[in-house]
Structure 1
Amino acid sequence: MLLSTVILPVDRGHDGGRAKWQRAKEPGFHAAYTYDHLSWWTFRDGPWFGALPTLTAVATVTARLRLGTVVTSPNFRHPVTLAKELISLDDITGGRVTLGIGAGGNGCDATALGQEPWTPKERADRFAEFVPLLDRMLTEDAVTESGSFYSADEARSILGCVQRPRLLFAVAATGPRGLKLAARHGQAWVTTGDPKLHETGTPEQSVEALRGQVERLCKACADADREVAGLDKILLTGFTPDRGRPPESVDAFVDFAGRHQEHGFTEIVIHWPIAGSDFAANQAVFDKIATEALTQLG
């Protein structure tokens, strides 16, 4: 079991943001991620910095910690320009980038570029083009592709990624089309649980729903003639009925993580506490989880 954190890009570097990322490199965390949005719900009226510039800055003060997004989406990204930025980031980090990538959702920055809100089908259609084209952009020197939504004309990516054949994809998906993309293109799969259970479900119902998601992922991998064991399974906490936040003790968190480990999850991601927000938590307990939980999980 791996333990990682997600640090929201809400702090100026000199106001504490730099210190958080530097502390995240301490023993315990496998990776530190950030959200790739232009703004996000309850933080819309405050500071919110760009994900890739933030990760680039963090790369200069860390050496071994993996860095990444949870998650990047087509809301305001294009595979050609995104690939160039990711190749640059992977080079700067020395090959430590994991790209969390998903179809996106409504709200936040979904219409920031002036587009009409996409339906779930439109999102799935775009994502089905976005991921394969981005994959090609990160593995081929030059790409020409004419798609319904995303195209490339002699787009160059010479040298490519430090990681070979490219940096890691962690595909966020729960539906059949997204799980198919995870099975074909992902080195990891990401979920936040069943959104229908977020407000009114129970922790037991959530665990059962997650078990069902893993089973559907297994089927998608079998259909793709791929061993599901080769795909890391990441749970981004904070969106299940128990909210998945750092509990009152290390033992309580170990119990939470262990229940999900039993169903195949290989990485748990917890939010760095932010006072006065949905992600408020006891910093001292969070710190103890970061340094002690893995010993008990094994």
Structure 2
Amino acid sequence: MILPLYRWAEGKEVWERAEELGFHTAYTYDHLSWRIPFRDGPWFGAVPTLTAAAAATKRIRLGTMVTNPNFRHPVTLAKDLLTLDDVSGGRITVGIGAGGNGFDAGVLGRPEWSPRERADRFGEFVPLLDRLLTQDATTSEGRFYSAHEARNIPGCVQRPRIPFTVAGNGPRGMRLAAEYGQGWVTTGDPKLAATITPRECPAAIRAQIDKLEAACEKAGRDPDELDKVLLTAFTPEEPLASLDSFVDFAGRYAELGIDEIIVHWPVPGTMFEADMGVFERVATEGLKQLG
């Protein structure tokens, strides 16, 4: 996870270095502003940043983690993603979630949505985005989102479309992941975030995976078709404390069914602070030790 903090003269080197280190995918957050201490500092747009990163790299996959309806509309987002997929030669993944309150939720001048309304909107947003990215022309009338002869020609480089990694902890979000996702992402159980201990974290993730598998069964979907993604740094665990810590952490979560672990590019003086030497060893040696 590379936060969009950098003027491109510096940021270009970060994205290129991520590729050199051998990371499979480099993501960025899709917000207009973010939490303290980042809220009042530099913060650039996700789509232009990923477009520049696509031009500066050749192999590494790129993506949002996550895009949400707070300030996005499926029609315009689909066009941006289609273009990103083309520029990158088919290396884009879109992480997508329902969004939340705070940060950029009210930046467009409207009242913040309730959890129910966010879920309702997300339930329209994902299916429409799916249609827009798989059809040359789409017309759809929804309660929240509509499209009128929206053209997306020539379509995605990746077929049938760019893969979705869906963030969803509740039943409706997991149902969307089961129906439309190529992946599912979690930061841990939000209901336990304030009290959970490092020892309890794996069981909480496993309980979420069990619910996801149940949603897949209801949808007639093989849960093994979905990548299970863990975005770190939002639980009390410290996988970047040392190389051994990461190998132990990654091994435990691989046994639980996690396929992909996202770590943050170190940002000094923040919750994402980490030793850069350890971080680079994680990339170059960590997976080798896991076999």
Q: What are the superposed Cα offsets for residues 133-175 of structure 1, whole Å, 9 maximum, x if unpaired?
A: 0000000011111100000111111111000000110001110
Aligned twin of 2:172: 177
What CA distance in whole angstroms lies between the structure 1 residues aligned with 2:18 and 2:277?
14
Q: What are the superposed Cα offsets for residues 241-260 of structure 1, whole Å, 9 maximum, x if unpaired?
A: 22x4512x211111011111
Aligned twin of 1:56: 51
Q: What are the superposed Cα offsets for residues 202-232 of structure 1, whole Å, 9 maximum, x if unpaired?
A: 1122111100000000001101111001110
Q: What are the superposed Cα offsets for residues 38-72 of structure 1, whole Å, 9 maximum, x if unpaired?
A: 01111110110000100000111111100001000
Per the normalisation by structure 1, the TM-score is: 0.96
Aligned twin of 1:286: 279
Amino acid at match of 1:269: I
- Alignment length (residue pairs): 290
1:213 to 200, 208, 217: 208
1:70-85 alignment runs, 5 A limit: 70-85=65-80
Asked if 1:20 is matched to 2:11, the reply is no
Name the SS for the 2:230 alignment partner: strand
2:30 to 32, 36, 61: 36
Are the equivalent residues in 1 in contact too, given 2:68–2:96 (CA < 8 A)?
A: yes
Larger CA deviation: 157-166 vs 197-206 = 197-206
The alpha carbon displacement at 1:276 in A equals 1.1
What CA distance in whole angstroms lies between the structure 2 residues aligned with 1:8 and 1:245?
19
1:1-298 alignment runs, 5 A limit: 6-14=1-9, 16-42=10-36, 43-242=38-237, 244-247=238-241, 249-298=242-291
The alpha carbon displacement at 1:263 in A equals 0.8
The alpha carbon displacement at 1:17 in A equals 1.4
The alpha carbon displacement at 1:27 in A equals 4.2
Name the SS for the 1:214 alignment partner: helix
Give the direction of change, closer, same or farther, for the CA distance of 1:276–1:245 in structure 2 (3 Å limit): farther
What CA distance in whole angstroms lies between the structure 1 residues aligned with 2:216 and 2:22?
30
Per the normalisation by structure 2, the TM-score is: 0.98
Q: What are the superposed Cα offsets for residues 61-87 of structure 1, whole Å, 9 maximum, x if unpaired?
A: 111100001000000000000000000
What CA distance in whole angstroms lies between the structure 2 residues aligned with 1:217 and 1:204?
22
Are the equivalent residues in 1 in contact too, given 2:240–2:246 (CA < 8 A)?
A: yes
What CA distance in whole angstroms lies between the structure 2 residues aligned with 1:276 and 1:31?
25
Are the equivalent residues in 2 in contact too, given 1:144–1:155 (CA < 8 A)?
A: yes
Are the equivalent residues in 2 in contact too, given 1:197–1:241 (CA < 8 A)?
A: no
Are the equivalent residues in 2 in contact too, given 1:200–1:241 (CA < 8 A)?
A: no
The alpha carbon displacement at 1:182 in A equals 0.2
The alpha carbon displacement at 1:281 in A equals 0.8
Q: Which segments of 5 or more consecutive residues in structure 1 lack a partner in the other structure?
A: 1-5
Are the equivalent residues in 2 in contact too, given 1:245–1:271 (CA < 8 A)?
A: no
Aligned twin of 1:3: none
The alpha carbon displacement at 1:196 in A equals 3.1
Q: Which segments of 5 or more consecutive residues in structure 2 lack a partner in the other structure?
A: none
Amino acid at match of 2:274: A
Name the SS for the 2:256 alignment partner: coil
RMSD across aligned C-alpha pairs, in angstroms?
A: 0.9
The alpha carbon displacement at 1:267 in A equals 0.3
Amino acid at match of 1:77: R
What CA distance in whole angstroms lies between the structure 1 residues aligned with 2:21 and 2:283?
8
